[in-house]
Structure 1
Amino acid sequence: MISIIIPTFNEEANIARCLSSLADQTVPRSTYEIIVVDGNSKDRTRELAEPLADSVFIQKSKKVGGARNDGAMESQGSIVATTDADCILPRNWVETIARDFDRRDIVQLYGTVYPLEGGIKNHLSLVGANTFSRLGYHTRTIYFTLGCNTAFDREAFIEAGMYRCIDAGDDLEIAQRMRKLGRVMLDPSLRVGFSMRRYQQFGTIKSVYEWLAIVASGGDSAKATYSKRTYK
């Protein structure tokens, strides 16, 4: 079984769309479970998620990484996959994850992203991110593993210590520990629809700068706010 972990916070506008894409997969629904770990939303996120998920509960650990860890500890699958509430998953997402783990000796798998919103600026931003991801993978330097599109061998994930509970960069940092336990693999065909709402509302340069500043400071920052933002 594959366990899919989705952290949420005030996502009533997006969670049903995300979960609906997971309900329409090419493999039987019995082969995967969906776990929504909510950051105590003040809207209808949990109400909308409950009919479509196998488990919905309020997180106990801090930040997005902590929510993913909480979900992993409650999971039943041998593979733990993570995505975000504002993403749309392709119909073969679960099937591709299962196939890659079955055919390859890997401890972590990740893929690429494309923008859900239109516009050349959004497209170019993610072309740059995907190019960086491929370069890092093929040069065996930085594994740009996005939390919206990654999967782990559950036992290895727990052995590595799971995600750090930090403000940003947790999904990038985890791969550096996972690679010590086995192979981390990029599958470019594993493509997820990624929302550009942060960059549209707060600006691409500002958002990237904030992310880089937090990562450079070790993942935590009292100055730059990156998580639990309110979107229009």
Structure 2
Amino acid sequence: MISVVIPSFNEEERIERCLVSLTKQDFPRNDYEIIVVDGGSKDKTREIAEKYADIVFIQTSLKVGGARNDGSLRARGEIIATTDADTILPPDWLSRIKHNFSDPDVVMLYGPVKPIEATIKKRIYLFFANCFAYLGYLTGTVLFTLGCNSAFRADPFKKAGMYRVSDAGDDLEVAHRMKRIGKVKFDRKLFVSFSMRRYDQFGALKSLYEWFYIVFHGGDAEKYQYTKREYR
């Protein structure tokens, strides 16, 4: 069993395409569950999610990391996969995840992303981001994991404390804790389609600068535009 955990907040325009992509997996539907953890949406996000998901509920913990943790605690699967409500998953996403976890030493898996808004500029931008992620993995210096495309062996993930609740970088930080207890693997073919709408809204370079500053320096994250996104 694989449990797919999806945090959401006011995503009525995008969550359906995410959930539809999960229903079109080349993987038996009885072998995975879909869990949507909502941050108290004011639109029809939960109503749409209930058409496709096995479990839909309102989170009790704070922020996106907390939503992923709430979903993980409700999960029945031996593997917990996380993605975002505005992400689109390819048909082989779950089968690739299962294949990678056939190695008993793997405790965490992650992969690259490609843009949903497939302009030349965005393709180039994410090409270099993926190269950076792969180089970091090969050298063991930076595990550039993303919450929209990660999976965990459930028991080690829960024993490690799951996601840290923070304004940014929770999906990167958890990989370095998982690395202490087992193998963290990067699968270059485990692509998902990633929305860059927030980078368009705030500016890609500015968002990256603020993200790195928050992750590596901490401080008053509230003053940065990167964190000023509606979410519980």
TM-score (ref. length: structure 2): 0.96
Q: Does the alignment pair 1:181 with 2:181?
A: yes
Root-mean-square deviation over aligned CA pairs: 1.3
Once residues 57 and 193 of structure 2 are traced to their aligned partners in structure 1, the CA distance between those partners, rounded to angstroms, is: 25
Once residues 80 and 118 of structure 1 are traced to their aligned partners in structure 2, the CA distance between those partners, rounded to angstroms, is: 28
CA displacement 1:89-110 (0-9 Å, x = unmatched): 0000000001110145200000
Q: Does the alignment pair 1:99 with 2:71?
A: no
Aligned sequence identity (%): 59
For the 8 Å contact 1:62–1:165, the answer to whether it is kept is yes
1:203 corresponds to: 203
Instruction: Give secondary structure in 2 for the equivalent of 1:91.
Output: coil
Query: Which is further off, 26-35 or 95-104?
Result: 95-104
Q: How does 1:1-232 map to 2 (within 5 A)?
A: 1-103=1-103, 105-218=105-218, 221-227=221-227, 229=229
Counterpart residue identity of residue 128, structure 1? F
Counterpart residue identity of residue 139, structure 2? T
Runs of 4+ in 1 over 6 A off after TM superposition: none
Q: CA deviation at 1:219?
A: 7.9
Counterpart residue identity of residue 151, structure 2? A
Once residues 196 and 221 of structure 1 are traced to their aligned partners in structure 2, the CA distance between those partners, rounded to angstroms, is: 21
For the 8 Å contact 2:90–2:191, the answer to whether it is kept is yes
Counterpart residue identity of residue 48, structure 1? I
CA displacement 1:58-81 (0-9 Å, x = unmatched): 000010000000000000000000
Q: CA deviation at 1:200?
A: 1.6
Q: CA deviation at 1:119?
A: 1.4
The alignment of Structure 1 onto Structure 2 pairs a total of residues equal to: 230
Once residues 118 and 96 of structure 1 are traced to their aligned partners in structure 2, the CA distance between those partners, rounded to angstroms, is: 24
Counterpart residue identity of residue 174, structure 1? V
Query: Which is further off, 42-51 or 219-228?
Result: 219-228
